[in-house]
Amino acid sequence: MKKSSINIVIAFVLGATVAGGIAVAEMNNTGGVKACVDNKTKALFLSADGKCTKGRSPLELTTNAFDIKNIAATVTPSVVSIAVETPTSGGSGSGWVYQSTANSSYIVTNNHVIDAVASGSGSITVEFSNGDQIDAKIVGRDKAYDVALLQINKGNLAALNIGDSTKLVVGEPVIAIGSPLGLASTVTTGIISALNRPVSAGTAGAESFVNAIQTDAAINPGNSGGALINAQGQIIGVNSAIATLSSGGTSGSIGLGFAIPITEAKRVIDEIISSPTNTSTRPLLGVYFDNTYTGIGAKILRLTPGEGAEVAGIPAGSVIRSIGGQRVTDQVSAVVRIRSYAPGGTISVTVDLPNGGGTKTFTVKLGKAPSNG
């Protein structure tokens, strides 16, 4: 039987905002990575020797067992609730502080959280764990990667430390922080259940494609845009989608949550910040897929002249079996694998050649195209 990629129904809906403290589960600290916490901003800094400068207190983060209490208390002030209001509807989600200067800060969230305002009119309000609220404006967004960047006129905020999602291992513990159903500063824990999970979300013609981190940490409607944190207190994923049961409707957590890898999201965010037009790009293989193909893999219908696939010599009619060593089961997984790379990158593409020509691996340099903001 053919194994298909997952199409996730995004069911992140408005919930009543509830002010409150941080709910965490405490575990014994058994030793691990040493860090320092800024006494004022509560920002977390790694320390190779365990020594802290003036104004920072020592903290030891566990690796085999989470020190959930300390990590959550340190990271949660940098995770925000986001309320969206339009003339006809409202919604909510989560976000987190990416960068901060003396006067303003960038907040990262999912595009689908703020899409209603971006596509029409309305307001976006960011709320911090202490209850402070402030209006936000959209700087830029990328529908294809489901990433959006907001800006607020509030500075000197503690930004989250960025981890490396390319070094994740299945089974390592994680913390999800966000505002499910409007319940601000909610902390849940679990493990990384799978990596490189091809997930498409959204409606036809406006899908996002994510080479997702799968986790069993409880993620519910409203967690969208929140932070997935590792044992070192670093963000390694942006919580984005949950699986719903085939019966349809809005679902709660069933242990199948998906996050955008932070290394993938960071490229898009940095492009939005640095671009004069606050836009981003996506990698381009230079192929059109055959939507009628029902076999395993992704069949190339035709090539884009002058782009990577044609230059590398891949013939039309070939069926892609793997990209970068990752198996391709269908068209969705092919798109996801391609978009997990940066434009200009070089990848290996293994195909079954047409007319029984056997299997061959090509080296392709990816092109660049504007992403759909």
| CATH number for the domain harbouring residue 28 | 2.40.10.120
Q: What is the pLDDT of residue 206?
A: 63
Q: Which of 5, 78, 105, 224 is catalytic?
A: 224
Same domain, 274 and 319: no
Q: Are residues 119 and 87 in the same domain?
A: yes
Clarify whether residues 238 and 358 are in a common domain: no
Residues 150-209 have pLDDT tens digits of 999 999 999 999 999 999 999 999 999 999 888 888 999 999 999 999 888 766 556 788
Q: Are 332 and 199 in a shared domain?
A: no
Percentages helix, strand, coil for the chain (3-state, rounded to 5) are: 15, 40, 45
344 Cβ contact partners less than 8 Å away, ≥ 6 residues apart? 283, 365, 366, 367, 368
Q: Give the tokens for residue 237.
A: 């994923």
Which domain does 45 fall in, by range? 1-279
- Of 226, 246, 279, the residue at which a domain comes to its end is 279
Question: Is the domain of 313 the same as that of 355?
Answer: yes
Look at residue 119 in the predicted model and tell me its pLDDT: 83
Q: Are residues 260 and 318 in the same domain?
A: no
Residue 24 pLDDT: 32
pLDDT value of position 217? 94
Residue of 112, 142, 240, 318 marked catalytic: 112
Whether residues 346 and 237 fall in one domain: no
pLDDT digits (tens, 9 = 90+) for 64-90: 456 888 899 899 999 999 999 999 888
Domain end marker among 279, 296, 321? 279
Domain end marker among 279, 294, 312 = 279
243-261 pLDDT, tens per residue?
766 555 556 678 889 999 9
Per-residue pLDDT of 20-40, as tens digits, reads 333 333 323 334 556 777 776
Mean pLDDT lowest for which of 14-18, 55-59, 108-112, 355-359?
Answer: 14-18
**What integer is the mean pLDDT of 290-299?**
96
Q: Does the annotation mark 224 as catalytic?
A: yes
Same domain, 345 and 239: no
Of the candidates 301, 359, 23, the residue with the CA atom closest to the CA atom of residue 183: 23
- The reply to whether 241 and 343 lie within a common domain is no
How far is residue 318's CA from residue 284's CA, in Å, rounded to a whole number? 17
The CA distance from 154 to 346, in Å, is 40
Spatial contact of 236 and 227, defined as CB atoms under 8 Å apart: no
Chain mean pLDDT for the chain:
86
Does residue 312 sit in the same domain as residue 296?
Answer: yes
- Residue 316's CATH number: 2.30.42.10
The token duo for 301 is: 């219908």
- CA 343, CA 368: separation in Å to the nearest integer? 5
Of 67, 115, 142, 146, the catalytic one is: 146
